[in-house]
């Protein structure tokens, strides 16, 4: 693997830390820091620059999908859960149970929640779109306040995009 590159930027809901190689993003996580210490600069690998640009477009309501390369390491079960997360449409939510069913492990709801919490590709692998069976917002490593913001943001943007059609 190539050396790791780190960058940060200020989003509307906190600092986002990006970690990647020359070829792929391996981590996008919210930070609890108050200031950006390592801004993306022109010397950063293109994948880091693309990641920041696309995330900024997402936060501005200009992007629903991402096309920069990502990679993640996890157990085969975690990989199945993360792949299922990417199938949840923009601005929609599904339950942990629905993800468990989608991967053929109906009874593994808690394990799905645990795998969800290990996702290091926040927003791009949309773990924020997974909710409790009662419709309540539950568990989000980036804080429930951010989860609520992301879901509201996506809903508002999706509704706006529909009115433009």
Residues with a known catalytic role = 127
What is the dihedral sign for C-alpha 54, 15, 19, 74?
A: negative
End-to-end CA distance of the chain: 44
Contact 68, 25 (CB under 8 A): yes
Query: Which stretches of the chain are assigned E, i.e. beta strand?
Result: 5-11, 14-20, 25-31, 94-95, 130-131
Per the listing, tokens 């391996």 go with: 26
């Amino acid at each position: 693997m190539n050396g790791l590159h780190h960058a940060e930027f200020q989003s509307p809901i906190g600092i986002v830390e990006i970690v990647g190689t020359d070829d792929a993003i391996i981590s996008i996580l919210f930070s609890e820091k108050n200031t950006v210490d390592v801004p993306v600069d022109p010397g950063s690998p293109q994948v880091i620059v693309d990641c920041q640009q696309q995330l900024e477009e997402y936060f501005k309501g200009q992007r629903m999908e991402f096309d920069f390369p990502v990679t993640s390491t996890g157990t085969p079960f975690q990989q199945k859960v993360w792949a299922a997360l990417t199938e949840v449409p923009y601005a929609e939510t599904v339950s942990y149970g629905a993800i468990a069913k989608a991967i053929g492990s109906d009874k593994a709801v808690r394990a799905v929640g645990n795998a969800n919490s290990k996702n290091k590709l926040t927003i791009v692998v949309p773990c924020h779109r997974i909710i409790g069976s009662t419709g309540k917002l539950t568990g989000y490593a980036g804080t429930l306040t951010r989860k609520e913001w992301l879901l509201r943001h996506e809903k508002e943007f999706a509704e706006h995009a529909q009115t433009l059609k």
